[in-house]
């Protein structure tokens, strides 16, 4: 097949075959597909960051490589969920030997999707475009991507311990390995951006913070009654942004007035 | 006033007084209040991370200090938006000298809120609890918090350039300074977690990746047609996670079979 | 036509004919149709409260009368919005004489709905089933209904001042009159419930509050630094619920311990 | 600690310690935290009403006192949910003795939140800023606040009967007592507003209803076929708004024409 | 009762009486009430299409007849759900003989709705106004309505197999029959539109497609690696739109350039 | 590049280059990207239908071909929107010559996305996974897909008339041509399903409707007062499903009783 913009190959990136059906786990796996930090989020986030990337070359390639790979993870997860739903009990009476298994079933898997996945999380909350951030700032987005992969890995690792199915475990292990690589990738990309002189911390670096308020950029203010916060790295020593030293203040006296609001337009009937 | 669990002081943390009304900018400022990465998000996120933090002491104090401070930022933003909406034109005919100013008005500010803010972004999308992540893993959450502050700073810096009102600019500058500090704080907290031996990258560090699939944790796979990706730090050299060397593969041959799905239960009437 | 369950008559309950088109106002009117406290909300809320009302007779009749009427208000609003959108400019160049009028246009009215209404508010937020409460408690729901009508009337009165179109103003005046009646109706229904001995304040009255904690049911606790709160009716005198006297405490010392949380299951990888 | 805008004390307002874990009940308790009428809603609603209150003094103090207290309730509920999730079974096989307990588990509590709460209701629906109303009219909002507390108390009282855990019951009893006080507070505040001559029913009182349509403000119209509605207080006698007498009409003949809509702009391709 | 705009009769359109309570099935039935393709969707969709229909006469009558009928289906479903929830167990201990039945309970049915329905699907996702499409094009909307009825019938038929309750089955059978009729109705209406010369396929027929790009209106492009697609009717023979012959191309070479994006405004701090 | 599961080529499927910037139109184009019936919806819908298709061979190939193509349309639209946002005015004062152009700007395009697209519609409503239906029934889904393409074409044709930019018009014309082909494809696929004997109307064909209620599958019931409905094809003649003749009834007498609901469990405090 000659090249079109996106090409799809029928083979899966990695096998997605459970030892047997498990409708209750199919529900839980929805978090890895359509949850806040699931595969749909990172696929869309990296592709959108790539399509809108203004720096041609390696950064754009990087984003489109990883984003396109995540589409293949979406496919693996939809395949796995469909297989886990095979022969799912339709009624309570069909699972008298294991009522709990029936009870955790996501009836929408059966009623809405005909024993297939939904683009939703394990609670049936539909995946939302608001989960995706492509801000135009590579450094801001790469930091967010590190966080996204960490959250994703955490969820996959927890799911790994919730099943004894070796086929499911093998797929989760593969997805965990790829997310480890993606964590590595975004951390390396942060290094690269700095090495290339494109952006430093804080994001955006270029904003002129040299006003009187700039002092507040390195001062820890206490708002909660514990006494342990000053023991942390965040209260003392050079700031991670390289622009000063951190300091600690045990209170944060207000600098603004108590606000007094004038009456509203009478046509709005405010009190 | 003696201490109760939360105490509120009527003074603002920092002044929130515009030079004059500007209903169009009031709308834009909603992104800083109720947008995906606005003050409501970080206030709720840090407080929830703090309340569920299982490590007593400095980390818990840190989260609750910063989270409580963000409540004061929410208050500053709601006050500023209310003041910017003072004397907002109710009809087009009231702004004949500047129709565009009227046109960008958020009529919901007037109709729903009586010339006050909404818990929503600049498009009227209500703030959502799904914006908040408190995963139970401090390292995963601190990385996400760095990303959140970077996204927040970026939006505040953009808004700074969209107004000439010195009162608004001063408040934005203060908020930017505090978010700079918060970026510093979360970066320092990541260092501290590592120094304390609590967690390393990748998150979670403890997951046993030593299966055959672990190889995939350090291999860059190409899915998009550019040639520039291998030039990046992510394709070569020691992995940021400290567990191996990164390598590059110019293609990613599928390892799974084309999936064949068996027929569904006939009572589901699938084709 | 003999009776079916719902019957629809083609005539409108009240005329919904503007003097002329006004696409910008059509947008604002969406708040009255599909906003949080618009006609869709009360129609669905009263019908659902009626359909699930366990007391046969007058209360059920009341809910179904008012709920069915609100369907007719939905129809009036959709008709008015469609007429206001007649001849709406499709492009900026078509409104060179009044660019602001064009600018406030809701392009979705044209692109999605073909110059018709959406089931959404003025920001394009779709109406949500979460706006509807039918709790099973008539007193709780009647109090909420009073609040709903007050919010609805407030919005209609504000919209009334945002247009000079006499046809629109006449319809809004009619809707305001009906919502006044509905406020009267729900206030009267609260009286009736009490007269019938069905429910008193607080809701639910029957819950046994006679534990040591019951003292807190009549004590005002101060959490914010102002000094004016004790001057109000809420801090002194007999409680509106008729079960005691209100008192004021100038502070609210915590009664719980600082929470210490045990470690989580290690398979969840919490810090 | 000297005063900052918000201060947080580590002690809880009231103890939040269950007798033992109960993951199924932890799920149900989410309704009290992040449900439509849960603690997050009232905390945000009262604070926003207070921050935008244009009347300085007692009403503003009142709103900020109660709103700030509700933040402490949010904290109690998040703490309780976290404790109820302690040692939650990760798999069905871990609860063979009580499969139902496992079955009602909210797997997102484990997978997404690491055995902690979400800002969502018991179905996993995220809390939404659309739940919060701050209209600028104190009377409209106080009536809504009465309704909110009634709905909240109702839910807490139902949850009270769904558990035998004495620690949970004690906390619920305390929350119920505080919500009783809050019902009292808002009812008293309605009295006070009237006594102060600020606002009367209907809301807004000031709107000029003296048009021909005003007759409809006191007329009950029948739309549903029952015969019992005229027996109610709403169909006869002086109107609660004090402006006339209520009357009943057994039918509601339409006053508008059947709407005829002109063709749309041909570029919209409407039929 | 003389005619008002909408009239409601207290009798149900068809009996909605289960043999006995079944709280687990009440949850599943929510999909038929407030799911994406449930009764609320079609009731609102047909009514909105009817109210905005610009062709007076038979098409408008048709839409309002079917839409009004669907309101009666909403009522039947809310009644059935309320009855299925009668005597629902409040705690696990009340269902020791059948823990699974308890486990599938929707606690929100009890806590939020007092043993009644919600305007939501079986996962607690609130019904959304975004489910409703009224585009202004009768042909586009009638095709969508065919699809809506097919999806609705499918869900009802699946639910039919999930219960042994004869009362529930009888109501589902009735609803299935009516949806069969509605499928017939919309298919007949498509024929009628064509016979009346109002609209043909594709929608909109009138758009001038005679540009060079028009060739793409009849060409099948291959993007996925299977070899079976050319065997289908879609790859050969006269096009269903009657405007040409279908052809097949085994690849889809890109016709656009790789996009190069210029730098953004520096005040946006994009990389 | 050798084959991986998804491959991405940097060239666009078709050129997406406007004559010049137009931020107001960039906003409107969001409906084609992330609206209810935009490219994100059909891309995800067809891919999910394909991945879960249980019939191997031509139907699966078809779904994956068209779904993969739609990903390329998503890319074209994101590119076009980014280019239209080039040099967008950041403040009102930057567009004094054309204030309306500024006024229709979507400030979130600038503040949130750094002059790039969002995964949302023109009102800022995020794209939702609930827009996607993959029911497991090919006939039900193919009918829905016809409807989806008709709705999509309608929106694109309307947008075509809202701009004079020849580059934008050319891209829209191409997308319209492809959607015409996709309408043809799904109509042909419906023919093919019937020719293959896989499924007929109504969906699902196999459901046993032969009960007494089956009569209702061919009877038109009147619920709204117009007299024109019997003139339509839907009230007379052979039913499109081929199973009988259509008939008309001028009224629909209720067949159910007025529902009487028993009292609820007293622990739910229902009235």
Region D153-167: what's the mean pLDDT? 96
Percent of chain A with pLDDT over 90: 82
Nearest to B9 by CA among A219, A253, A226, D182: A253
Q: How far apart are CA A20 and CA A14, in angstroms?
A: 18
More confident residue, D1 or B133: B133
What's the 3-state SS for C70-131? HHHHHHHHHHHHHHHCCCCCCCHHHHCCCHHHHHCCCHHHHHCCCCCCCCECCCCCECEHHH
Q: Is it the case that residue B212 has pLDDT exceeding 80?
A: no
DSSP-derived 3-state class of residue D112 = coil
Distance, CA of C65 to CA of C182 (rounded, Å): 11
Low-confidence ranges of chain E (pLDDT < 50): 1
Give me the pLDDT at residue A210, please.
61
Q: Which helix (H) or strand (E) holds C237?
A: strand C237-238
Structure tokens at B249: 């593969």
pLDDT at A206: 86
Closest residue in E to F59 (Cα) is E229
F245-249 and F237-238 strand pairing:
antiparallel
> Which residues of chain B are at the E interface, by a Cβ-Cβ cutoff of 8 Å?
154, 157-158, 161, 267-269
Confidence of residue D103 (pLDDT cuts 50, 70, 90): low
- Furthest-apart CA pair in chain C: how many Å? 71
Candidate from F161, F250, F263 with C-beta closest to C54: F263
Indicate the helix (H) or strand (E) that contains B7.
strand B6-8
Cα separation, E194 vs E183, in Å, equals 17
Does residue B94 have a pLDDT over 90?
A: no
Tokens representing F54 are: 């249980």
| DSSP structure class, residue B81 | H
CA distance C181 to chain B (A): 21
Average confidence score pLDDT of chain A? 92
Q: What's the pLDDT score for residue B224?
A: 92
Name residue, tokens 């994100």.
F40
Choose the closest CB to F5 out of A11, A47, A120: A11
Non-local CB neighbours of A66 within 8 Å, separated by 6+ positions: A42, A46, A182, A185, B223
CB contact under 8 A, C134 and E128: no
pLDDT of residue C271: 87
Token couple for D79: 């703490």
List, in order, residues 6 or more apart from E266 with CB less than 8 Å away: A206
Between the alpha carbon of residue D150 and those of residues B20, C139, C141, E126, the distances in Å are 41, 8, 8, 22
C-beta atoms of C240 and D268 within 8 A: no
More confident residue, F164 or E212: F164
Helix (H, G, I), strand (E, B) or coil at C178: helix
| Closest by Cα among E67, E14, E61, E60 to E39 | E67
Contacts of D56 in chain B (CB under 8 A): none
In three-state secondary structure terms, A35 is: coil
> For residue B195, how far is the Cα from the chain centroid?
26
Q: Indicate yes or no: CB of C209 within 8 angstroms of CB of D256.
A: no
Alpha-carbon separation of residue F55 from A80, F50, F192 (angstroms): 17, 9, 13
More confident residue, D225 or E139: E139
DSSP SS3 for E202:
coil
Mean pLDDT of chain D: 92
Q: What is the pLDDT of residues A192-221, one digit of tens each?
A: 999 999 999 899 988 876 666 678 899 999
Interface contact B125-C125, CB threshold 8 A = yes
Full 3-state SS string of chain F: CCCCCEEECCCCCCCCCCCCCCHHHHHHHHHHHHCCCCHHHHHHHHHHHHHCCCCCCHHHHHHHHHHHHHHHHHHHHHHHHHHHCCCCCCCHHHHCCCHHHHHCCCHHHHHCCCCCCCCECCCCCECEHHHCCCCCCHHHHHHHHHHHHHHHHHHHHHHHCCCCCHHHHHHHHHHHHHHHHHHHHHHHHHHHHHHCCCCCCCCCCCCCCCCHHHHHHCEEECCECCCCHHHCHHHCEECCCCCCEEEEECCCCCCCCCCCCCCCCHHHCCC
- Asked if residues D268 and C112 have their Cβ atoms less than 8 Å apart, the reply is no
Question: What SS3 state is found at C53?
Answer: coil
pLDDT of residue B96: 56
Which of D103, D122, D125 is nearest residue E103 as measured by Cβ atoms? Answer: D103
Q: Which of F78, F93, F88, F66 is nearest to F29 (CA)?
A: F78
Neighboring chain F residues of E187 at a CB cutoff of 8 Å: 201, 240-241
C186: nearest Cα among C142, C231, C240, C236: C142
Determine the Cα–Cα distance for residues C47 and C71; give it in Å rounded to an integer: 10
Where do the H-state alpha helices sit in chain E?
23-34, 39-51, 58-84, 99-103, 107-111, 138-160, 166-195
Q: How far is CA E49 from CA B250, C30, E43, F151, in A?
A: 53, 17, 10, 14
pLDDT tens by residue, C174-225: 999 999 999 999 999 999 999 999 999 899 988 876 666 678 999 999 999 8
Q: What is the pTM of this model?
A: 0.96
List residues of F whose CB lies inside 8 A of any D CB.
154, 157-158, 161, 267-269
CB contacts < 8 A (A, E): 133
pLDDT exceeds cutoff 60 at F2: no
What was the pLDDT predicted at C102?
A: 57
Give me D27's structure tokens.
Answer: 């799920």
Cα separation, A118 vs F132, whole angstroms: 8
Distances (CA, A) of E123 to A126, C1, C115, E30, F41: 10, 40, 34, 8, 21
A63 in Cβ contact with A46 (< 8 Å): yes
Of D201, D202, D270, nearest to C114 by CB-CB distance is D270
Residue D237 falls in which region: left (phi positive, over 0), alpha (psi -120 to 50) or beta = left
Report the pLDDT value the prediction gives residue C170, as an integer from 0 to 100.
95
Rounded CA separation F168/F26 (Å): 10
Reading the block at residue B108, the tokens are 């919901």
Residues of D in contact with E4 (CB under 8 A): 221-223, 251-254
Distance CA A116, CA A33 (A): 12
Instruction: Tell me how far the alpha carbon of residue C172 is from its chain's centroid.
Output: 17
Per-residue confidence in pLDDT tens, chain C, 271 aa: 456 789 999 999 999 999 999 999 999 999 999 999 999 999 999 999 999 999 989 999 999 999 999 999 999 999 999 999 999 999 867 765 555 555 677 899 999 999 999 999 999 999 999 999 999 999 999 999 999 999 999 999 999 999 999 999 999 999 999 999 999 999 999 999 999 999 998 999 888 766 666 789 999 999 998 899 999 999 999 999 998 999 999 988 899 999 999 999 999 999 8
**A248 bridge partner residues:** A220
**Average pLDDT over every residue of B168-180:** 96
Which residue, among E64, E70, E85, E6, has the nearest Cα to E34 in the 3D structure?
A: E70
Nearest to residue E131, comparing CAs of A31, F125, C49, C26? Answer: F125
Residue F257 pLDDT greater than 50, yes or no: yes
Q: What is the torsional sign of CA D220, D224, D225, D227?
A: negative
Residues of F in contact with A132 (CB under 8 A): 119
At D54-85, the pLDDT tens digits run 998 999 999 999 999 999 999 999 999 999 99
For E106-126, write each residue's pLDDT tens digit: 899 999 999 999 999 999 999
Backbone angles phi, psi at F188, to 5 degrees: -65, -35
**Hey, of D169, D217, D271, which one would you mutate to test binding to chain C, going by the most C CBs within 10 A of its CB?**
D217
Of the candidates D9, D64, D136, the beta carbon closest to that of B113 is on D136
- CA nearest B98 in F: which residue? F99
Query: What's the token pair of residue D256?
Result: 């508008």
How far from C98 is each of B90, B95, C18, C101, CA to CA, in Å?
Answer: 16, 11, 19, 6
pLDDT digits (tens, 9 = 90+) for A216-254: 899 999 999 889 999 999 999 999 999 899 999 998 889
Looking at the predicted structure, is the pLDDT value of residue B117 above 80?
Answer: yes
User: What is the spatial distance between Cα D150 and Cα D156, in angstroms, rounded to a whole number?
Assistant: 10
Q: What is the pLDDT of residue A1?
A: 45
Give the mean pLDDT of F160-177: 96
Top residue of D26, D141, D203, D248 to mutate, by most chain C CBs within 10 Å, is D203
Q: Which residue's structure tokens are 């009527």?
A: B10
Mean pLDDT check: name the lowest of A86-90, D208-212, E60-64. D208-212
DSSP H/E element including D245: strand D245-249
- Among F23, F41, F100, F107, which would you mutate to test the C interface (most chain C Cβ atoms within 10 Å of its Cβ)? F100
What ipTM does the predicted assembly reach?
A: 0.94
Averaged pLDDT of chain B: 92
pLDDT recorded at residue A190? 97
Residue in E154, E161, E267 closest to B161 by CB: E267
- The 10s digit of each residue's pLDDT in A121-136 is 999 999 999 999 999 9
* Chain C residue at shortest CA distance from A266: C158
Q: What does the pLDDT look like over A143-181, one tens digit per residue?
A: 999 999 999 999 999 999 999 999 999 999 999 999 999
Structure tokens at B203: 């998150």
Of B151, B160, B229, the CB nearest to A58: B229
* φ, ψ at A93 (rounded to 5°): -65, -20
């Amino acid at each position: 097949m000659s090249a079109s913009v996106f090409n799809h190959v029928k083979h899966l990136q990695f096998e997605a075959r459970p030892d047997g059906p498990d409708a209750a786990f199919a529900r839980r796996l929805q978090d890895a597909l359509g949850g806040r930090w699931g595969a749909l989020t990172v696929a869309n986030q990296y592709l959108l960051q790539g399509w809108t990337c203004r720096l041609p070359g390696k950064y754009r390639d990087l984003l489109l490589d990883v984003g396109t790979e995540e589409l293949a993870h979406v496919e693996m997860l939809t395949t796995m969920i469909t297989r886990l739903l095979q022969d799912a009990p339709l009624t309570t009476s069909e699972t008298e030997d294991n009522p709990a298994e029936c009870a955790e079933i996501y009836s929408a898997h059966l009623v809405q999707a005909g024993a297939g996945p939904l683009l939703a999380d394990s609670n049936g909350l539909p995946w939302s475009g608001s989960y995706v951030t492509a801000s135009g700032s590579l450094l801001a987005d790469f930091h967010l991507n590190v966080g996204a992969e960490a959250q994703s890995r955490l969820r996959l690792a927890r799911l790994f311990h919730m099943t004894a199915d070796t086929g499911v475990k093998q797929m989760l292990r593969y997805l965990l390995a790829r997310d480890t690589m993606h964590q590595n990738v975004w951390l390396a990309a942060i290094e690269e951006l700095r090495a290339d002189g494109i952006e430093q911390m804080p994001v955006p670096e270029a904003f002129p913070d040299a006003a009187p308020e700039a002092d507040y950029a390195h001062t820890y203010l206490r708002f909660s009654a514990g006494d342990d916060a000053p023991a942390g790295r965040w209260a003392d020593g050079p700031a991670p942004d390289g622009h000063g030293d951190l300091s600690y203040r045990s209170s944060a006296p207000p600098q603004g007035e108590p606000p007094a609001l004038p009456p509203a337009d009478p046509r709005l009937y405010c009190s």
